[in-house]
Amino acid sequence: MANVEEIQCGSMLFRQEELQEMSGVNVGGGYVEVMCGCTSHRYGDAIAKLRVFPNGNLEITCECTPGCDEDKLTPAAFEKHSGRETAKKWKNNVWVINGGEKVPLSKTVLLKYYNEALKKCKRSTKSQGTKVFHRDEFVGCIECGKERRFRLRSRDECLLHHNAMVDPNWKCSDFPYDKITCEAEEERGSRKVYRGCTRSPTCKGCTSCVCFGCELCRFPDCTCQMCVDFTSNVKA
């Protein structure tokens, strides 16, 4: 059960009463963490920690075995990793302990920001139509930590960035535009602020250059959470 004082002093993502009956609550600087799990009829319960972020992101660190090193999993990826037989229904298959009982994520407040992000995505797609602009994005190398710039002006460029972003082991040598190594210099901070926004050269992110998902940057044959959710949301 959550520590009441911890919730009161921590993040304001959720109200105290919404979390106090949940197990494993830990309030971070910009997220709320709770214990979660997924049950396979063959393998039993896979236990993990779910982090909820205000931008709608959901990250799971698996603790199914002492040696498991799977972290920053999407709920869909965790569902598959746990061996759940009826996959692709993570909202109902991934659960938390609330009041001593297993409760599906779909019946908790933990999907509040995730659902809000989906609504923004749908509104953005309808309002922008085909006039969607994507600013440049950066992907960090797992080995040296340096960030490399990706342009997102075409579907092919968006796919290159998307594949790098969902690859937990992406490194400088995988950079698709130039053959580089970790020895190559990283862009200076003064240069990184220029992301290509058409409204303002040094924009930090606005409705003109930040896309929550569209047909240009989401791919129906991809199984990552972002693409699966976008595809199902558009069909809804």
**Burial letters for 166-175: b for 16+ Cβ neighbours within 10 Å, e otherwise?**
beeebbbebb
pLDDT of res. 8: 39
In this structure, which amino acid lies at residue 182? C
pLDDT of res. 78: 87
In this prediction the pTM is 0.54
Of 214, 216, 213, give the one whose Cα is nearest residue 154: 216
pLDDT of res. 13: 84
pLDDT of res. 218: 87
Which residues are CB-contacts of 129 (< 8 A; sequence separation ≥ 6)?
Answer: none
Q: Which bin fits 228, alpha (ψ -120 to 50), beta or left (φ > 0)?
A: alpha
Place of tokens 């214990």: 35
Cβ 235 vs Cβ 227: under 8 Å: no
Grouped pLDDT means (10 residues each) for the chain, 236 residues: 42 82 87 93 92 86 89 83 77 93 94 77 52 85 95 89 91 91 93 88 83 83 81 64
